[in-house]
Amino acid sequence: MPVVRIDPQHPEPELIEQAAALLRAGQLVAFPTETVYGLGANALDPEAVARIYAAKGRPAWNPVIAHVPSIVAARELSRAWPASAEQLATHFWPGPLTLVVPKAAHVPEISTAGLDAVAVRMPDHAVALALLTAAGVPVAAPSANRFTQVSPTTAAHVVQSLGDRVPLVLDGGPCAVGIESTVVDCTGDDVVILRPGMLGRESLQAALEEIGVFVKFATRPAVAHDATPDMAPRSPGMADRHYAPKAEVWLFDGAQANEVQDALAKRARDGTPGVRMHALLRSVSLASHDNHVASVTEVRMPDDASQYARALYAALHDADAAGAGLVLIEAPPEGDSRWDGVRDRLSRAAR
Ligand code: AMP
Ligand code: MG
């Protein structure tokens, strides 16, 4: 598939026009956003959106996010734009925040998986904004990867996952945020966090204080590690194994490093065929003891949540590319809300 380099700050107008023409013609274009790379299609064209589902192997019950270049364009997709949505869009757009609002009649069912609400977002990336403006249509764009796999944060990740399924990939370099947007439901009295992201509850609550709206999580107060099955239709990304490398994933607390080493040593003693192992670590090491785990490739991950998020998917893609059979991940610090988005993705990768 053609991969075209594009200037991430000042995208070349002729490249933008070429990509926009494909979108208007009902074709797919993969493009960078600040969160992850999106696989875009005209959100108002059911056949175009069907191409997204086919390319990703994404089940039809999983709705997609419509990307827009302005708040005005977002309002047009909603039959009743909530005050909470206006407040949040004004504060955080363009940015890594998706608003679920009552859908307008002209938004096709395939874009919302039959739900009466549509998810909208204005991304904070010059290429994405230029493309959305030039296309002149809202662009449905889930992450540009096969269903359940790790989301792409570089154009190379898109190519690895989707191969020849996309006619054009705009390569604008690595994504700055690195994990998917925070998704909030604005259709009720409270704003409900359906998917945590790097924009956290405290920030959302601060912005909604002046209009007296409360922000809560869809699941238990902390980020759920096992969302209940009945939540699946409401926000499908929550329930299944997702954001996952091909390898088995062990998520462990740094304090349990010795137990992990013991378990690895036991595997080695039991003659478990040697699998390649990648360990994403922040504070501990696994290779220090004399215990048969020398074959672990240790990846030192950042201690800062934002930097960690930016590096996470590339580290998981690297593990896949190296043929790792087991990925060991040191869990984020407990009780620190800045890590909610990362903790959510890791818990689902490990499921
Ligand atoms: P992705 O496009 O892979 O980043 O995933 C989009 C996610 O947005 C889905 O998994 C849902 O959690 C959420 N979403 C999209 N549309 C809706 C909607 N209409 N109602 C509730 N959640 C939605
Ligand atoms: Mg995805």
For ligand 1, whether the C-beta of 119 sits within 6 Å is yes
For ligand 1, whether the C-beta of 62 sits within 6 Å is yes
Burial bucket for residue 25 (CB in 10 Å: 0-12, 13-18, 19+): exposed
Exposed e or buried b for every residue in 36-55, given b needs 16+ CB within 10 A?
Answer: bbbbbbbbbbeebbebbbeb
pLDDT at 161: 95
pLDDT at 234: 47
For ligand 1, whether the C-beta of 63 sits within 6 Å is yes
Residues with beta carbon < 5 A to ion ligand 2? Answer: 143
For ligand 1, whether the C-beta of 236 sits within 6 Å is yes
* Calpha distance 83→65 (Å, rounded): 20
pLDDT at 241: 75
* Calpha distance 77→179 (Å, rounded): 25
- 248-349: what CATH class? alpha beta
pLDDT at 179: 98
* Calpha distance 137→131 (Å, rounded): 10
Q: What's the whole-model pTM score?
A: 0.93
* Calpha distance 3→37 (Å, rounded): 13
Q: Which residues of the chain have pLDDT under 50?
A: 220-234, 236, 239
In the chain, residues under CATH classification 3.40.50 are 248-349
In the chain, residues under CATH classification 3.90.870.10 are 3-231
Give backbone dihedrals phi and psi of 257, rounded to 5 degrees, phi first. Answer: -55, -40
* Calpha distance 260→153 (Å, rounded): 29
Helices and strands: H and E segment counts in the chain: 11, 15
β-partners of residue 171 are: 5
Q: Options 3.40.50.150, 1.10.3720.10, 3.30.160.100, 3.90.870.10; which CATH number does 3-231 get?
A: 3.90.870.10
* Calpha distance 134→132 (Å, rounded): 6
